[in-house]
Amino acid sequence: MAIDSLLAQKNMSAYRCAKESGIPYTTLLELVRGKTRIEKCSAETVYKLAKLIGVTMEELIELHQTPPRLEFETFKGNAQHLLKRLGDLEFIIQLLEENTVRKYWELKWYPEAFYLLAMLDYLCRVNELKLCGDYNDIRGTRLPEMCYPKDIYLKQELYPGMDLQQILDRAAIPEFARFNIYEVDIRDVC
């Protein structure tokens, strides 16, 4: 979670945070904008910021760290394997408890956020569960273009006369298609 999100939760501007914490405004602005990593700040800066926000220094550093971003096909495969390992209900519970969709959304990793939200919505539908309303703001958006698996592009090269897109669009799971992501089966993993 970025510093700006933490400050927003406290209804605090960067300017007010700088004034109240004693951290130079330019230093704080660099952190908020992501130009400076918190791990590179002095212990004093991390301490002052953590104290003002109400977390430990370790928690602040942990909250601010960004996981490495995987190639989207790898990300999808990992999510599908996790579903297979946990089962529908445990997968749903883990997504909701860890607020994974929102974390990816805040990182601006939109394909990942949409993919997990589509999985969540699809699993809720097939298990006849009520949708979680926490993500309604995300549900109203979508990727600007349809995102197909890489092998689809290869098939289109091999069969240029076929209207693969029309065939694919009819087979797509509606919860994924709503976000412009093509997916036909989230359970077909080895």
Residue 108 makes CB contacts below 8 A (sequence gap 6+) with none
Query: Does residue 38 sit in the same domain as residue 102?
Result: no
Please indicate, yes or no, if residue 47 is contained in any of the structural domains. yes
- Same-domain status, 47 and 84: no
Average pLDDT over residues 55-79: 85
Q: Name the most confidently modeled range: 3-17, 26-40, 132-146.
A: 132-146
96-100, 105-109, 124-128: least confident range = 105-109
For residue 63, the one-letter residue type is L
Burial 72-107 (b: 16+ CB within 10 A, else e): beebbeebbeebeeeebeebbeebeeeebbbbbbeb
pLDDT attached to residue 164: 65
Q: How far is CA 102 from CA 66, 99, 108, 138, 155, in A?
A: 14, 6, 10, 9, 34
Q: What percent of the chain has pLDDT over 90?
A: 54
Taking the C-alpha atoms of residue 127 and residue 129, their distance in angstroms, rounded to an integer, is 6
What integer is the mean pLDDT of 14-42?
88
Regarding whether 112 and 54 lie in a shared domain, the answer is no
Classify residue 34: in a domain, yes or no: yes
The answer to whether position 130 is within a domain reads yes
The total domain count for the chain is 2
Q: Name the residue range of residue 38's domain.
A: 3-64
Please indicate, yes or no, if residue 145 is contained in any of the structural domains.
Answer: yes
Reply yes or no on whether the pLDDT at 1 is more than 60: no
Same domain, 83 and 169: yes
Give the pLDDT score at 177: 92
| β partners of residue 147 | 181
Residue 172 has pLDDT above 80, yes or no: yes
Is 109 in the same domain as 60?
no
